[in-house]
Amino acid sequence: MYTLARSTTAKTTGTETPNPMKSLLSRLRSIGLPTPYVRQFLLPDWWDDEAAASPVGFTQVVWTIARHLGIRPELLRDPTQAITLPRQHGVQFKLTKGTDEQSVELARILGQQVARFALLGVTQLEAAACAKDIRTAILESGAPWISFGTLLDYCWSIGIPVLHLSKLPGKKMDGMAVNIDGKSAIVLASGRTGTAWLLFHLAHELGHIALGHGTVVDGTIDEESSDPLEKEANDFAIELITGRVGARVVPQGRWPKADGLAETALRLGSQEGVDPGHIVLNYAHGMSRGGTNNFWPVANAALKKIPSEGDAAAMIRERMAAKLDWSSLPTEAAEFVARMTAGQP
């Protein structure tokens, strides 16, 4: 533990030097990091701004924030230098119209840094490149279908950390497939917590990894995307979840009631080995493709009538807490991962 200085200024030859922390926080705000966010996620719980009045304390806070952002400490130390975010070669951004790369850059960097530290706590095996093989391996373990929980467990079993980061600055993203020095991690960042929704997101990001797409930032995971890499990841996800390439539930006849849709999804799920929640969402997407845009309230009501695995974000945190070898992470890195994921080491 460090002894914190109690003075907000340092005296030098009879003059008072302002605490540099104020300027540092101002410069961080200029790149999109609000001060409350910095305090909650990038600084340790025990930090007191008064410590920055001493050269040792300021050096410590500069290095701490720099490590969490993956930038050079000199950019934070020197108030005359603009803080620039590091750009990584090879990152692919799959964003919707109106969203540019710069707007999700902070989210990308923080997600990638959390993944970098989490990868220190796993031993990674090579991921199968075939959706069919992954599906077979999961079903042979006794699962009735590929659920969010079983796919989550599969990822951890081969050393792919799955992290949930819903509180990221800047524009939101649905998720990322992260590749760091040949090791892979998955970051899910959607505000949704329903397992039916995040099952497809997880399968999609695993598809990017299995297919060797490298680091991919998905602003929005769109099942109808025409982007080649997104289409490949979507096809992989559909085959993994349903067992068939391009499987679609084709709406026919009148709108079903929520009760009827839930009952049909449960029956088909048991017959076909497909998660009932996915069947409901697949059906709802089919209704949207047909030009009907207001079927989602019925679909959401049907999801509530299907037995739930629980809160997907909580499930991710529980698996991370149990599966990650926290002792392999430096203490500061472990605390950072825990804060960013709202978990506990």
Structural domain contains residue 230: yes
Instruction: Please enumerate in sequence order all residues whose Cβ is within 8 A of that of 114, keeping only pairs 6 or more positions apart, or say none.
Output: 163, 165, 187, 336, 337, 340, 341
Asked if 26 and 147 sit in the same domain, the reply is no
For tokens 């990001």, what's the residue?
205
Asked if 227 and 265 sit in the same domain, the reply is no
In degrees, to the nearest 5, what angle opens at C-alpha 111 toward C-alphas 342 and 344? 20
Structural domain contains residue 82: no
Structural domain contains residue 86: no
Asked if 222 and 73 sit in the same domain, the reply is no
Environment class of 296 (CB within 10 Å of its CB; exposed 0-12, middle 13-18, buried 19+): middle
Instruction: Please enumerate in sequence order all residues whose Cβ is within 8 A of that of 228, keeping only pairs 6 or more positions apart, or say none.
Output: none
Structural domain contains residue 1: no
Supply the Cα-derived Rg of the chain in whole angstroms: 23
Going by the DSSP 8-state scheme, the letter that residue 40 receives in this structure is I
Token pair for 88: 């990584």
Q: How many domains does the chain have?
A: 3
For tokens 């009760």, what's the residue?
259
Structural domain contains residue 3: no
313 in Cβ contact with 164 (< 8 Å): yes
The side-by-side arrangement of strands in the sheet containing 183-188 is: 92-94, 216-218, 175-180, 183-188, 162-164
The phi, psi pair for 306, rounded to 5°, reads -100, 130
Asked if 264 and 145 sit in the same domain, the reply is no
120 in Cβ contact with 243 (< 8 Å): no
Asked if 199 and 99 sit in the same domain, the reply is yes
Asked if 305 and 315 sit in the same domain, the reply is no
Question: Collapsing DSSP states into helix, strand and coil, what is residue 218?
Answer: strand
Question: Collapsing DSSP states into helix, strand and coil, what is residue 156?
Answer: helix
Asked if 304 and 276 sit in the same domain, the reply is yes
Asked if 206 and 271 sit in the same domain, the reply is no
Token pair for 75: 């950019």
Asked if 137 and 64 sit in the same domain, the reply is no
Structural domain contains residue 323: yes
Asked if 321 and 292 sit in the same domain, the reply is no
Asked if 13 and 96 sit in the same domain, the reply is no
pTM score: 0.90
Question: Collapsing DSSP states into helix, strand and coil, what is residue 312?
Answer: helix
Cα atoms found within 13 Å of the Cα of residue 292, Cβ hemisphere only: 16
Environment class of 44 (CB within 10 Å of its CB; exposed 0-12, middle 13-18, buried 19+): middle
Range of the domain at 153: 92-244+311-341
Structural domain contains residue 155: yes
- For each of the chain's 345 residues, which pLDDT tens digit applies? 333 344 444 444 445 678 999 999 999 999 999 999 999 999 998 999 999 999 999 999 999 999 999 999 999 999 988 888 877 778 898 887 767 788 888 999 999 999 999 999 999 998 778 999 999 999 999 999 999 999 999 999 999 999 999 889 888 889 999 999 999 999 999 888 899 999 999 999 999 999 999 999 999 998 888 899 999 999 999 999 999 887 676 666 677 899 999 999 999 999 999 999 999 998 888 777 655 567 889 999 999 999 989 999 999 999 999 999 999 999 999 999 999 998 554
Structural domain contains residue 100: yes
Instruction: Please enumerate in sequence order all residues whose Cβ is within 8 A of that of 322, keeping only pairs 6 or more positions apart, or say none.
Output: none
Asked if 155 and 277 sit in the same domain, the reply is no
